[in-house]
Homo-oligomer: A and B are copies of this chain.
Amino acid sequence: MFTRALRTRLCSPLAFEHTASVRRSYGSVPIAQKLTINGDRLWDDIHYTAQFSAPSPGGVTRLCADENDKLARDWFGEQVLQLGAEYKVNATGSQFAKFGGEDDTIPPIAMGSHLDTVATGGRFDGPLGVISGLEVIRSFKEQGIMTRAPLVLINWTNEEGARFFPPLGSSTVYAGQSSIDAAHASLSNDGSGITMGNELAKIGYVGDGPNTFEEFPISAHFEVHVEQATDLEKAGKPVGWVEGWQGISYYEVVFTGEDGHANTYPMYGRRDALTGAAKLIVQLETLAYAKNGYTTVTNIQSGPSGACNIQSKTKVVFCLMHRETEGLEDMGIDIVRSIQGIAALHGLEYELTRPVHLLPDNFWPEAVDCVRRACGDKGIGSRTGTAHDSTMTRLKCPTGMVFVRGKDGISHCAKEWSDKEDCKEGALVLGKAVLNFDAYLQQQVAKA
């Protein structure tokens, strides 16, 4: 019924020929129109799970594989088992909760996001997506809704990269962009040398569940997320369908100079790695303005540690963001020239890597359309400024995202906020999008 050829076609990132046909339908399928969401329970779970956090007034600090992440994962496991899930943890700690459909030969439709947060982050970035998915499963059960395709709810590991670099620590493996070994070897941003693999093992979250799309294919991936910008707020809309993303490059540069006495060594002839790094940071700010993009330095580590050393080694991690490919590439060329110039001026050596290079692009139109129809007149089209686990799954299968209005575009901050009614609307759109896609799958199978 659901042929391998069709699956392959559905799961090709080039399957854009569906656009025209899916755009013909302008609303959710009938079953989706009846769906309701228990907004109180959703809201309560968001704030209940916020307790699994290091002290973080008003917000959440739940770093990948820390003791609070373990508590949140344990809670998630209990919830999905209570709902009758077939539950697995994979080698990089991602939690998969599968629920049967009418035809279990069809790859499941996935809802996924992450329960980890950044340090001093908010209550919504990540958890809103997972908990919305949980609420959709609960609502389907309560309202007797059975999809044709099975469903899977995924809590992806280390989306944020807040503790271990690089981010999207498990979804990159799933999408074939990294390996289990590489993910396990991800180093802590604090320079302490601890790895994600060891820390996941410590909390008991290295499992035997599926690691790659090829092992465990999914028909589609949908994700609810706070917008982290102000398009919805300005338009007065609670939700949005996410059409695509801006381009993002992460660079890591390590400047190496020479040791010297901080008080006595002459200014002339110094090879001060930190002074070089500071000039780079200042130039990054200028670059953002000059190119109408965004730039942020996200990590600096410098040594030797001490009170009386010229700094001989300084690592800087920074990201460049631009809505257009040309703009992003242009910024990259400029900043590499800056690094070369700084190194030449200060007598520094440097090592430069670009661990992330994500060109701006669009999500799969058939998935976006399912979200768009689910939003109806409560939503607008928007774009995300950052990467999500969905940015990885879209390499393998139709992927769409639901945005929920946030306050003032503030995110990765304790002040991050979305109203209860908006969160409820986001979960409702997620559920409707899944039902729309389930119907779309049936339509494709019928055509095949």
Residues of B within 8 A of A250 (CB): 307
| Residue among A160, A258, A297, A308 with most chain B CB within 10 A | A308
Residues of B within 8 A of A275 (CB): 281-282, 285, 297
Name the residue on B nearest A189 (C-beta).
Answer: B305
The docked-state distance in angstroms from the alpha carbon of A304 to that of B54 is 13
Identify whether the interface residues of A are mostly helix, strand, loop, or mixed: loop
Confirm or deny: A203 has a beta carbon within 8 angstroms of a beta carbon on chain B: no
The docked-state distance in angstroms from the alpha carbon of A274 to that of B161 is 19
Residues of B within 8 A of A294 (CB): 263-267
Instruction: Report yes or no: A248 in contact with B263, Cβ–Cβ below 8 A.
Output: yes
Integer count of this chain's copies in the complex:
2
Residues of B within 8 A of A146 (CB): none
Interface size class of A (residues with CB under 8 A): 35 or more
| Given A267-B294, A274-B300, A281-B275: A262 touches B319 (CB 8 Å cut-off) | yes
Instruction: Report yes or no: B312 in contact with A307, Cβ–Cβ below 8 A.
Output: no
The docked-state distance in angstroms from the alpha carbon of A76 to that of B76 is 58
Confirm or deny: A376 has a beta carbon within 8 angstroms of a beta carbon on chain B: no
Identify which of residues 100-125 in chain A touch chain B, using a CB-to-CB cut-off of 8 Å: 118-121, 125
Residues of B within 8 A of A189 (CB): 305-307
Interface residues of A (CB under 8 A from B): 118-121, 125, 160-163, 165-167, 188-190, 228-229, 246, 248, 250, 258-267, 272, 274-275, 277-282, 285, 288-289, 294-300, 302-312, 317, 319, 321, 384-387, 409-415
What are 23 A-B contacts with C-beta separation under 8 Å? A119-B305, A120-B312, A125-B261, A162-B307, A162-B309, A166-B307, A228-B264, A228-B265, A246-B263, A258-B413, A259-B413, A259-B415, A260-B411, A261-B413, A263-B321, A265-B409, A265-B411, A275-B282, A277-B278, A278-B281, A278-B297, A298-B307, A299-B305
